Amino acid sequence: MPVSDTNYSRIAKNTVFLFFRMILTMGIGLYTSRVLLNALGVEDYGIYNIVGGFVAMFAIVSGALTSAISRFITFELGRGDSEAIHKTFQCSVTVMVGISAIVIIIGETIGLWLLYNKLVIPEARLDAAFWVFQFAIATFVLNLLSTPYNACIISHEKMQAFAYISIFEAVSKLLICFAIIHSPFDRLVFYAVLLCLVGIIIRVIYVIYSKKNFTECRGHMIFDKKIVKSIFHRMEFHRLFGVDIKRSGGHNPPQSVRRTGSQRRKCHRSKSQRHSLRICQLFHHGRQSADNQELCQRQLSRA
pLDDT digits (tens, 9 = 90+) for 227-240: 777 777 666 544 44
**What does the mean pLDDT of the chain come to?**
75
Average pLDDT over residues 118-137: 89
Average pLDDT over residues 146-168: 84
Decide if pLDDT at 76 tops 70. Answer: yes
Q: Let me know the angle formed at the C-alpha of 77 by 71 and 83, rounded to the nearest 5 degrees.
A: 105
- Say whether 99 sits in a helix, a strand or coil: helix
Decide if pLDDT at 268 tops 50. Answer: no
DSSP assignments along 219-237, one per residue: S-----HHHHHHHHHT--G
Closest CA to 29 of 170, 166, 167: 170
pLDDT of 289 reads 46
How far is Cα 84 from Cα 227, in angstroms, rounded to an integer? Answer: 10
DSSP conformation class of 80: T
pLDDT of 287 reads 45
The Cα-based distances of 209 to 22, 146, 154 in angstroms read 21, 12, 13
Decide if pLDDT at 213 tops 60. Answer: yes
* CA neighbours closer than 13 Å in the CB half-sphere of residue 5: 2
Percent of the chain with pLDDT over 70: 73
In DSSP terms, which residues pair with 252 in a beta bridge? 248
How far is Cα 25 from Cα 28, in angstroms, rounded to an integer? Answer: 5
pLDDT of 5 reads 59
pLDDT of 165 reads 87
pLDDT of 197 reads 92
How far is Cα 206 from Cα 203, in angstroms, rounded to an integer? Answer: 5
Percent of the chain with pLDDT over 90: 6
